[in-house]
A and B are shown apart, each in its own frame.
Chain A
Amino acid sequence: MRIAEVIGKVVLSRAHPSLKGARFVIAAPMPKEALVAGSRLRGEEVIAYDDLGASPGDRIGLSEGGEAANPFGKDVKPVDAYCACLIDQIHCS
């Protein structure tokens, strides 16, 4: 799980049936310089499935790969990036 800053939302006009009503956010991963020194540097954006109501400016735990589909269990969805938590505070040095 990387730490990412939400920079936008995605609304789907047509999608896979299992993604009906799903919310997606645009998440920009944060490198060490951003977490420790507050730099504006961000990694390549990822579109993540969001159940928690993240909004632009929030920092989230971005789960990727196989783990991103874990929360859905048997209800298989084509999801490989998932917003796992909204981060309140990060104390980095």
Chain B
Amino acid sequence: MQLGVVIGTATSTVKHKTFQGERLLVVQLLTSEGGDDGEPVLAFDRLGAGRGETVMLTNDGKILQEMIGRDTPGRWSVLGLPNI
């Protein structure tokens, strides 16, 4: 799991079927020192995280596959909203 900051949201109509009805956030992952870690990623969010919030993400595809479908090409999903 890793912390990240929500820097935006993304909308998409033409997409893989397992994305139907899912909310996509644009999240900048953070290193342990709080710096940027790589390019921003698209993460699935069912917890209603807002822009600017810090979120806890998992890159365990299995969790996402159980949530939205075994053949999903997605990986990152929001696991929790830590109050830091």
Q: Which of A49-74 contact B (CB under 8 A)?
A: 52-53, 61, 63, 65-68, 70-73
Among B8, B11, B52, the residue within 8 A (CB) of A88 is B11
- Quick one: given A32-B28, A32-B36, A84-B16, are A63 and B74 in contact (CB under 8 Å)? yes
Give the A interface residue count (CB, 8 A).
33
Chain B residues closer than 8 Å to A87, beta-carbon distance: 10-12
Contact between chains at A67 and B74 (CB < 8 Å) = yes
Contact between chains at A32 and B42 (CB < 8 Å) = no
Contact between chains at A70 and B73 (CB < 8 Å) = yes
Interface presence of B63 (CB below 8 A): no
The complex places the Cα of A53 from the Cα of B15 at a distance, in Å, of 10
Mark contacts of A70-93 with chain B using CB atoms, 8 A cut-off: 1 yes-contact digit, 0 otherwise: 111100000000101111111111
Contact between chains at A31 and B42 (CB < 8 Å) = no
